[in-house]
Amino acid sequence: MNKLKSVVAVMCLVVLAAPAWATSKTVTLDVPGMTCPVCPITVKKALNKVSGVSRVEVSYEKKEVRVTFDDAKTDTKALVRATTDAGFPSKAESQQK
C-alpha cells in the first residue's frame, strides 16, 4: 500500500509542478473572412508574428485556424487581435484548451 501511496504522491507533484513551466495551449479561431485560398497565408503570417505562437494550422475549407501558443507569453485575445489587424476578424471557439 505504501508503494501505491508514493506513486500517487509523485503524480500529484508532477501535476502541481506543471504550471511552473510554460504551458502550451491550443485554441481554434473562426475566421469567416477567409474567402479565397490566399487568405490563409495572410492569417498564418499574422499569427506567426505573435510572440509565443508555436504552431498555426489553417483550414480554409472550415474557415478555422488552430493556434498553439505559450500561454505565459500570449493569449487568445492577442491572437484575435493579430488576425483582425491583418484584415481578418476572428472569434475564439468555445472549446478551448
Judged by the rule CB under 5 A, the positions of this chain that interact with Cu ion are: 36, 38-39
Closer Cβ to Cu ion, 42 or 48, answer by number: 42
Kindly state the smallest distance separating residue 96's Cβ from Cu ion, in Å: 27
Contact 79, 27 (CB under 8 A): yes
- Cell of residue 44, nine digits: 498564418
Range list of β-strands (E), 8-90: 24-30, 53-59, 64-70
Kindly state the smallest distance separating residue 34's Cβ from Cu ion, in Å: 7
CA-to-CA distance for 12 and 15, rounded, in angstroms? Answer: 5
Closer Cβ to Cu ion, 34 or 80, answer by number: 34
- Whose cell is 480554409? That residue is 60
Closer Cβ to Cu ion, 4 or 37, answer by number: 37
Closer Cβ to Cu ion, 69 or 88, answer by number: 88
Contact 52, 73 (CB under 8 A): yes
- Amino acid (one-letter) located at 50: V
Kindly state the smallest distance separating residue 52's Cβ from Cu ion, in Å: 26
Kindly state the smallest distance separating residue 42's Cβ from Cu ion, in Å: 7
